Amino acid sequence: MPDTAISIKGLTKTYAASGRSEAKVALHGLDLEVPRGSIFGLLGPNGAGKSTTINILAGLVTKTSGTVEIWGFDQDRNPRQSRAAIGVVPQELNLDPFFTPRAAMEVQAGLYGVPKSQRRTEEILSAVGLLDKADAYARSLSGGMRRRLLIAKALVHTPAVLVLDEPTAGVDIELRQMLWAYVRELNRQGTTIILTTHYLEEAQEMCDRIAIINHGRLVACDDTSNLLSRMNAKTLVITPESAPTGNLILPEGVTLDTRPNGALALTYSPGETPAEALLDAVRAANIHIRDIATEEPDLEDVFVSITQAQ
Ligand code: ADP
């Protein structure tokens, strides 16, 4: 088995000009490796090229140049094997309203050439909590149930890599937790997961590795913990007893932000300024501390700092 689940090299995509719109370069030579067994987040602002990348992986969009290997199979040289190695859960809830979940699963299995004896329709529907709806028309399913059916469909051929495009957009918290629990379980059983999400908190919690793309280029790719520590910034939040009267003179490199509730947020690099120096400065300004807390940077901070620097 390969170490990398997905290997993308020099991937470019130019959408041809049409009618009113000019030709658009969506990907400028993207290089990306997704380790086998990971839960990998593909993040970026709107228009960054995430869907284009995912649609190329899914075989829905043809690349302009570059190579894509899925589970070691080159998409051009081994189209059948590379397609069999991946399942994609699309963003849109595009289901045939007159199909029942059972029928939708059977059709999908047929498309992937899964022999009848190897089909796991009931097992998969049960895993996503839809077994009792197996014979209901898709049009009678709620949005959350449709989303689960899309995941079930992507699993019919037991793909090694499962790609989820914004799987929890517009999904309520309860269902979101259920989906993530199931995705984690699939990952524990060996499926490599790639997901895009607008919820950075969710990406931070779920993904062990994250790539950030912007304007069709890779701008960061690292383990989530490394990305977070890269910020090398902490915030000390001090709530004073009363409005400060003294002059607060801060060590170099420390920034001060006054919160709406009057708290003083001091952002510093722990490697350069010890927290003690901040407390000394606060005491020297005759500020009496009512409360004190520290805040670590989160993925949102990393994301903003990386994409805004572009
Ligand atoms: P993301 O998923 O990160 O929001 P997309 O991959 O959808 O980004 O889009 C990348 C860029 O390609 C955007 O500028 C978008 O307008 C353009 N684009 C996407 N799809 C098409 C298309 N079918 N035709 C022309 N341009 C497109």
What letter would DSSP give residue 18?
B
Using a 6 Å cutoff on CB, does residue 49 contact ligand 1?
Answer: yes
Under the banding of pLDDT at 50, 70 and 90, the label for residue 62 is very high
- Per-residue model confidence (pLDDT) at position 1: 60
pTM of the model: 0.84
Asked if pLDDT for residue 59 goes beyond 70, the answer is: yes
CATH value of 4-228 in 1.20.120.1200, 3.40.50.300, 3.90.650.10, 3.20.20.60: 3.40.50.300
Asked if pLDDT for residue 50 goes beyond 80, the answer is: yes
Instruction: Report the range of poorest mean pLDDT among 20-24, 84-88, 219-223.
Output: 20-24
Domain ranges of the chain: 4-228, 230-298
Q: Which residue has the tokens 């390969």?
A: 2
Residue 39 pairs with which residues in a beta bridge? Answer: 193
Using a 6 Å cutoff on CB, does residue 47 contact ligand 1?
Answer: yes
CATH topology assigned to domain 230-298:
Alpha-Beta Plaits (3.30.70)
**φ, ψ for residue 298, nearest 5 deg:** -115, 180
Q: Which residue has the tokens 């022999």?
A: 115
Using a 6 Å cutoff on CB, does residue 24 contact ligand 1?
Answer: yes
- Per-residue model confidence (pLDDT) at position 2: 64
- Per-residue model confidence (pLDDT) at position 303: 87
Using a 6 Å cutoff on CB, does residue 41 contact ligand 1?
Answer: no
Work out the average pLDDT over 120-143. Answer: 91
Q: Are strands 192-196 and 39-43 parallel, antiparallel or unpaired?
A: parallel
- Per-residue model confidence (pLDDT) at position 139: 84
Using a 6 Å cutoff on CB, does residue 51 contact ligand 1?
Answer: yes
Using a 6 Å cutoff on CB, does residue 52 contact ligand 1?
Answer: yes
Using a 6 Å cutoff on CB, does residue 50 contact ligand 1?
Answer: yes
Instruction: Compute, in angstroms, the gap from residue 137 CA to the centroid of ligand 1.
Output: 33
Nearest-atom number in ligand 1 for the CA of 213 is 3
Percent of the chain as helix, strand, coil, to the nearest 5 = 35, 30, 40
Which helix (H) or strand (E) covers residue 222, if one does?
A: strand 217-223
Pocket test for ligand 1, best of 11, 12, 13, 15 (most atoms within 8 A of CB): 15
Instruction: Compute, in angstroms, the gap from residue 166 CA to the centroid of ligand 1.
Output: 15
- Per-residue model confidence (pLDDT) at position 144: 85
